[in-house]
Amino acid sequence: MPNAPDDAIEKVIKLRAEINEHNYRYYILDDPTISDAEYDRLLRQLQAIEAQYPELITADSPTQRVGNLPSKAFKEVKHDVPMLSLDNAFSEAEVVAFEQRIKDRLHTEAAIEFACEPKMDGVAISLLYENGFLIRGATRGDGYTGEDITSNVRTIRTVPLQLRGKDIPKRLEVRGEIYMPKAKFNQLNEQLKERNEKVFVNPRNAAAGSLRQLDPRITAKRPLEIVCYGVGSRENLTHIKTHSGIVQQLKQWGLRISMEVQVVPSVVECLQYYYSMMNKRPHLPYEIDGIVYKVNNIELQERLGFVARAPRWAIAHKFPAQEEMTIVEAIEFQVGRTGILTPVARLKPVFVGGVTVSNATLHNMDEVQRKDVHVGDTVVIRRAGDVIPEIVAVVLTKRPPHTKIIELPKHCPVCGSEVLKPEGEAAARCEGGLVCAAQRKEAIKHFASRKAMDINGLGDKLVEQLVEVGLVHDVADLYRLTQAQLANLDRMAEKSASNLIAAIGQSKTTTLARFIYSLGIREVGEATALNLAQHFRDLRLLMQENAENLQKVQDVGPIVAAHVAAFFRQQHNSDIINKLIHFGVHWPAVKINQAKQVFAGKTFVLTGSLTTMTRDEATAALQKVGAKVSGSVSKKTAYVVAGVEPGSKLTQAEKLGVTILDEKQFLKLLQEK
Ligand code: IVH
């Protein structure tokens, strides 16, 4: 192997210094001065020289972030200074009591200055630097003995392999937290899912799992970051008098600290900081589970000392947990309007994210299988912010011996009809249609809803009651209800009964679009209902149309068309429609929309032949948009459409000064509708 020449050695030293500087600017100051491509070029130059002269490779070379070879097991590490934990506070009162204990111990009534920091939800880490070089990274372990994970820690870009700046102590142990940013965590889980590998429950588990890889090359691929919040021994730092001073000094040496650290004059501002961070929490790019308050003055810290395994001078003020464990007591299947069966887990009630949760949806059977939930399992429930509670994962280690596997019922739990799950589809469906009380209830709720028939006062609970007592079987029955029948129901006052009867009466005057929407045809939302109404303008025409022709309606594809045609083919659906009309449901003639007013009532005359449609088709198209078609030109004629080889009507039009359209102009006008 050739000995490295001096110029190679010099070049390596220069490149490393340059790269380290850019790392510092990028990762610590968040203020890069070169592009990623330029950075890569520098790194590749260094790699090339190191490949040629491997004896120049050092553990702290920026090329070594890719990870060493795997090891068999982690070595044990004895911490010089134990890595302690923190006492927790869960209320303002406990924080105030914490401050009072401090004042009592110090025999003072003067306000205590605190440093406030986010409590990062990751993995505690100890970084040991000797002469400014990272020589060891270790986990907390039991606080006294941890694991040597140096090779893994070296792969984390935000951990400096070499410190920078002045007066670096001979030996410095830095304490911090390694974590995975939320967005990166989600990306990682997406990748794992795609590869059919096990996903991580939360960013903290992902960080812990990534750090405990025996193969550092895997760790190197995981998006880990660090925030430093203290030191082990203060031996070499006695000139620094405050906690915030120490943290600032760490930053000067190139270590990454939290951007949120704030020094406040008393406990009152600690609480203000707590609430402002609580609001910020959902928007922070990383998870935090509380705030740490630390007495800022180090001399006071030393006077306060420790109790058991935690300092008296610090406390963690926890946020309400967003994740809790509980037990799945049962799984029920809910039947929706279109018959879809949704598995819902009934849980032992648990307080999480600020509310008591006793149900969580599992969406469909695929999800039940993917998450492998059994009745009797202990599960992790998560409720962050306002989102619906979800089952994050099963705690397999807590699975009792005889759990029940969840199976899709063969028959609908409400009506007993067959349940079908088409191959390759996630949804399972009750085939009972309107025989199924659950589907009937949902269909009636939909019919009465604001965007449909808008029956004020007919809420979900009332619909359920009406179906259960047998007063309402289908939507048409609503128009048969009497005030006396309603007044007999539970929790129904005379006044609300008469209001409801009035509201039902008012709903009879509606629009065709609302009426179509309220029928609850699968895949027909408000927009599609409007398109259908505009296109047909007559319910009877719509009801007779076949699936193929339905596709001529704007934005209606083969699936929607098939659902619409199937709906009207069913006798009981047309029976209900007839009953509704019989009971007085009506709507004004459909106004064609503004743009189409161009045609309304206007008389068109066609002459010559068109190349894209027959004369009958052109007539139908015009009539559909409200125009009249006449056989002869007069002063009242609005337009003459002249095709190929026009006849005398064209001359007549020219004579009378009637607007003449050629085929292209005519088609354009039609399309503008
Ligand atoms: S100070 C003696 N500061 O919380 C003080 N800890 O329960 C020891 N943590 O294991 C810790 N953010 O992993 C401190 N800003 C912060 C922190 C923090 C997260 C973790 C740390 C420790 C645990 C204590």
At 313-364, the pLDDT tens digits run: 999 999 887 888 899 999 999 999 889 999 999 999 998 877 899 999 999 9
* DSSP-derived 3-state class of residue 417: coil
Question: Which structure tokens are listed for 373?
Answer: 């939930």
Atom of ligand 1 nearest to the CA of 121: 19
Is residue 174's pLDDT more than 60?
A: yes
Is residue 589's pLDDT more than 90?
A: no
488: number of Cβ within 10 Å? 12
Distance 176 CA to ligand 1 centre (A): 8
Helix (H) or strand (E) holding 663: helix 663-671
CB contact at 8 A, 374 and 356: no
User: What would the mean pLDDT of 222-228 be, rounded to a whole number?
Assistant: 97
Query: Which stretches of 139-292 are DSSP H helices?
Result: 150-153, 182-194, 203-211, 216-220, 243-252, 267-280
Compute φ and ψ for 27, nearest 5 degrees.
Answer: -85, -35
Active site residues: 119
Closest protein CA for atom 6 of ligand 1: 119
Looking up tokens 């992902």 gives 206
Task: Please tell me what DSSP assigns to residue 634.
Answer: -
Please list, in sequence order, all residues whose beta carbon lies within 8 angstroms of the beta carbon of residue 229, skipping any fewer than 6 positions away.
117, 120, 175, 176, 177, 247, 257, 258, 292
The reported pTM is 0.59
Is residue 308's pLDDT more than 80?
A: no
Q: Domains along the chain?
A: 6-65 (1.10.287.610), 87-318 (3.30.470.30), 323-405 (2.40.50.140), 418-592 (1.10.150.20), 603-672 (3.40.50.10190)
Percentage above 90 pLDDT, the chain: 63
Sign of CA dihedral 144, 150, 156, 161: positive
Compute φ and ψ for 235, nearest 5 degrees.
Answer: -35, -55
* β 639-642/659-662 pair status: parallel
Name the band, by pLDDT with cuts 50, 70 and 90, for residue 570. Answer: confident
User: What would the mean pLDDT of 599-613 be, rounded to a whole number?
Assistant: 87
**Chain-wide mean pLDDT for the chain?**
90
Between helices 615-624 and 663-671, what is the axis angle to 10°?
30
Q: Residue 103 to residues 301, 304, 309, 361, 424: CA-CA distances in angstroms? A: 12, 10, 21, 49, 67
429 forms beta bridges with: 340, 420
Distance 300 CA to ligand 1 centre (A): 19
Closest protein CA for atom 16 of ligand 1: 119
Is residue 100's pLDDT more than 90?
A: yes
Question: Which structure tokens are listed for 600?
Answer: 């309304």
CB contact at 8 A, 246 and 173: no
Closest protein CA for atom 13 of ligand 1: 124
Distance 86 CA to ligand 1 centre (A): 7
Which of 85, 173, 302 maximizes ligand 1 atoms within 8 Å of its Cβ, making it the mutation to test the pocket? 85
CA terminus-to-terminus distance, the chain: 81
Residue 316 amino acid letter: A
Distance 183 CA to ligand 1 centre (A): 23
Q: What is the pLDDT of residues 445-469, one digit of tens each?
A: 999 999 999 999 999 999 999 999 9
Atom of ligand 1 nearest to the CA of 124: 13
Q: Is 290 in the pocket of ligand 1 (CB under 6 A)?
A: no
Q: Is 85 in the pocket of ligand 1 (CB under 6 A)?
A: yes
The radius of gyration of the chain from alpha carbons, rounded to an integer in Å, stands at 37
Cα-Cα-Cα-Cα dihedral of 197, 203, 207, 212, to 10°?
A: -50
Is residue 669's pLDDT more than 90?
A: no
Task: Please tell me what DSSP assigns to residue 296.
Answer: S
Q: Residue 102 to residues 113, 198, 299, 305, 306: CA-CA distances in angstroms? A: 11, 46, 13, 11, 12
Q: What angle do CA 29, 35, 38 make, to 5 degrees?
A: 120
Is residue 673's pLDDT more than 60?
A: no
Between 673 and 536, residue with greater pLDDT: 536
CA dist 360 and 364 (Å) reads: 12
CA dist 634 and 546 (Å) reads: 39
What is the layout of strands, in order, in the sheet containing 262-264? 87-89, 314-318, 288-295, 114-120, 262-264
Q: Is 293 in the pocket of ligand 1 (CB under 6 A)?
A: no
Helix then strand then coil, in percent of the chain rounded to 5, is 40, 20, 35
Transcribe 210-246 into DSSP letters.
Answer: HHT-SSHHHHHTS--EEEEEEES--GGGTT--BHHHH
Q: Residue 437 to residues 38, 417, 428, 474, 569: CA-CA distances in angstroms? A: 67, 11, 17, 10, 22
